Amino acid sequence: SKNRQQYHDIQFGGHTKAGVTCNTCHDTHSTQKGYAQLRTGKNALCGQCHKASAAMYQDSVMAKSGVGCADCHMARIANRSGATQKNKDHWDTSSHTFAVVLPQKANELKMKSSCDACHGESDKIAKGAALTQGQNGISTKISEAEAAISASGKGKKATKAKALLMQVKDDHSLGAHNPQKALALLNEALKIVAK
C-alpha cells in the first residue's frame, strides 16, 4: 500500500526530457515540514520555467478564485495500490504526468478528472466541454492571425502583431489558462495588421 507511482508518471511527460528530476522541485533532505518538501511555493516552482504560462494565467478567472497550477496539472487522480492510514480515499496521489485530464476523457477511461476537486458531475462536464470548444476557437484564431501576419509582409506592424501572437502560442494552452486574455491578444494582433 506504500508503492509510489510519481517516478513512473514523470517519465511520460516532457519534464524528464527537459532534465527535470525529483530534486528540481523537492528538497528530499529538507528538515522543514511542508507540503511534499517543495523547494518553494507550488505556483512559484512552475513559474520558474513556465514563464509564458504564468504570465497568461495571471489575472484569469481561475487565478482570481485561488486555483493554482498544481490544482489542474497535478490533480489527485492517481492512486496507490490501496488506501493508506493517512488517507482512506482511493484517489490519493497527485499525478506527476502534469497532464490535465478533462471530464470527457476521464469518463472514457473510468477515472477521476482534474476538475473533480472543485466541480460537481454536471458542472464539470459542461465546463470541460466549454474549455475544449474555447481551445478550438483559439486554435482557429491563431491560424487566422498567422495568415494575416504572413500576408502583411515584414515591418513594424507585422513584428508587433507577431509578438502578441507569440504570447498566446508560447503559453501552449490554446487559451485554457486565460481564454479572455488569449482572445484579446489575438484580436489585437489582427487589428494591427489590418490597419
**CA pair distance 46, 20, nearest whole angstrom:** 12
The pLDDT value recorded for residue 187 is 98
The pLDDT value recorded for residue 85 is 57
**HEC states along 100-156?**
CCCHHHHHHHCCCCCCCCCCCHHHHHHHHHHHHHHHHHHHHHHHHHHHHHHHHCCCH
**CA pair distance 157, 46, nearest whole angstrom:** 33
Lookup result for grid cell 512559484:
44
The pLDDT value recorded for residue 86 is 59
Q: How far from 14 is each of 18, 75, 87, 88, CA to CA, in Å?
A: 6, 17, 29, 31
Identity at 18, one-letter amino acid code? A
The pLDDT value recorded for residue 8 is 83
Q: How far from 140 is each of 32, 50, 100, 134, 187, CA to CA, in Å?
A: 48, 24, 21, 10, 12
Q: What is the pLDDT along the chain (195 residues), one digit of tens a residue?
A: 455 778 888 888 789 999 999 899 999 888 876 677 888 888 889 999 999 999 999 999 999 999 999 999 998 876 665 555 555 556 667 888 899 999 999 889 888 899 988 888 788 889 999 999 999 999 999 999 999 999 998 899 999 999 999 999 999 999 999 999 999 999 999 999 998
The pLDDT value recorded for residue 83 is 55
The pLDDT value recorded for residue 12 is 81
The pLDDT value recorded for residue 84 is 56
Q: How far from 155 is each of 16, 80, 159, 163, 168, CA to CA, in Å?
A: 39, 56, 6, 12, 21
Q: Which of 182, 177, 171 is nearest to 67 (CA)?
A: 177
